[in-house]
Amino acid sequence: MTHRAGLSFQFTHAIARTPANSVANGIRAVDSGDPSGDKFREEHGLYIKALQEAGLSVNVLPALEAFPDSCFVEDPAFCLPNAAIQLRPGTESRLGEGAEIRAALDSVFETVAVLPGEGHVDGGDVLTLDDTILIGLSARTDREGADAFAKLLGDWGYQAEVCETPRGVLHFKTACSTLGDGVILATRVMAESGFFNGRPIVVVPEGEDYAANVIRVNDVVLVPEGYPKTLAAIENAGFKTVVLPTHEARKVDGGLSCLSLRFALG
C-alpha cells in the first residue's frame, strides 16, 4: 500500500474494557499467580489516563464477568481509520468476545466487517506499520484466518504480509512493536527474523523481553514499568516515554497493546 504517515501511531480515539473480577481465571502460559481484579482495575485506570493525556478520547466499556480475558480488547477486533473488522480469537473461551464488542465498533464505524471464513485471528498477532500490516501465525492465529484477513485488507487498499511467529512467542506483538517513524522495537529473535525489511530496529536488552510490547500513541511511547534498560534504549533512540504498571496484566499474558483498540477518526 502507499505509505500512510502516522497510520501506526497517530490516533484520536480508543476503545477499552474494564477488567472483570473473573480475570483471575484468565488464560496464561505460565502460572505466576492470579491477578487481582481490584489491582488490575487500578493499573487499568492509569493506562486510560495515559491514553487521554496523549490526546485520545477513550470509550471504556463495562466489565464482562463471563469472559475473563475480555479486557484485552485488541484480540477480538482490528481498527483502521475508515473501518473495523470483528475478528475470531483462536481460543475457545474467547470466541464470544467479538460479538460483545461489536456494538462499540458499530457506534464508531460505518463499515464493520466480520473476518471471512472459519479461520482464527487474534489482534495481538497484527502489527500495523505505516506502509504494511504484518500478520503473525501463532497458536492463536491460523493460516486460514490470516489469509482471509490479508485478503480483506488488500480489498480495502492495504498491503498485508503473513509471517511465521517464532516458536515460543505467544503473539507476534509479544515480541515486537512499532515506535513509529519507521522504527521497530523487537526482541533479539524477532530482530533477526528478517520480517522488518531493513527498517531500523531497537533491540530489547537481554532479560527484558516482556518490554518488547509497547505502544506509540501520538507523541509518546507507553512502556511497561520495571524494564530500565529497554526504557533507556527507547529514549536514546529519540522517543518520549511514559512508564505504566502492567504487573496484573502480565500474570495473564497481557501487555500494553492488548488493553485498547486505537484508531484515528476525522
Which sequence positions are flagged as catalytic? 171, 258
Q: Residue 200 in 3-state DSSP?
A: coil
Alpha helices (H) along 68-142: 97-106
Q: Residue 128 in 3-state DSSP?
A: strand
- Laid out side by side, the sheet with 77-79 consists of 77-79, 84-86, 112-114
Report yes or no: 114 and 145 within 8 Å, Cβ to Cβ. no
Q: How far is Cα 170 from Cα 52, in angstroms, rounded to an integer?
A: 29
User: CB-side exposure of 76: number of CA atoms within 13 Å?
Assistant: 24
Strands 13-17 and 126-128: unpaired
